[in-house]
Amino acid sequence: MAQIFHPSMNTVAKASIFGFLFVVAALAWAIAGIDASPYNTEAFVARNQPVPFSHEHHVSGLGIDCRFCHATVEESSFAGMPSTKTCMTCHSKMWTNAAMLEPVRESWATGTPIQWNRVYHLPGYVYFNHSIHVNKGVGCTTCHGPIDRMPLVWRAASLRMQWCVECHRQPQKYVRPRERVFDVTWVAPKNQEDLGRELVKEYDIPVKRMTDCYVCHR
């Protein structure tokens, strides 16, 4: 019987199979990269606001404590956004004619709240409580990054499940003394894990249950 294909086609066939697998793997890698990139997660992308509020100026420059504006962070699942009254505590006395603060003055005059654009937003199927994290020694900068150096706020993390689970598995790497939770200048010491293990025990953090599904999905 006559041979239809030249023997070299065996090599071509093998190369085609491996080439196809390589292309599939490359596409999967590219899709995973795009999925985890700031393009999709919006991490590290500054969010424009109706008023260009600078945390760098207010926190680092003026030394205003986080809780002055985010008043419910220690007792509620939501950190809270500052009311116009909070803004006017200072700006009824200073920078009263600044053009950038016109939305604040208009809000105060009309009683219409400022519509801030959310930077951090979790899906409805994810349960997150600010107060429990704060009271267990998780600092603001652990999740929000160098907030004191942000002229406009950007999301400092992807908020992906993998990112959350990493902390839940090894909280000793991240927890700090409660009195330093709102200290934006705090830097983890060289013995952080030793300190962290002590704090995990002191704060009664249930590490063995921290990765159970119901903790975040209720």
Q: Are 180 and 138 in contact (CB under 8 A)?
A: no
| Per-residue pLDDT tens over the stretch 43-61 | 788 889 999 999 999 999 9
| Per-residue pLDDT tens over the stretch 163-195 | 999 999 999 999 999 999 999 999 999 999 999
Give the predicted TM-score (pTM) of the model.
Answer: 0.79
Ramachandran quadrant class, 168 (left: phi over 0; alpha: psi -120 to 50; beta: rest)? alpha
Cβ partners under 8 Å of residue 208, min gap 6: none
Taking the C-alpha atoms of residue 119 and residue 145, their distance in angstroms, rounded to an integer, is 13
186 is written with which tokens? Answer: 């705090």
Domain ranges of the chain: 55-81+119-216, 82-115
Nearest partner of 142 among 117, 107, 168, judged by Cα: 168
User: Residues 110-128: what's their mean pLDDT?
Assistant: 92
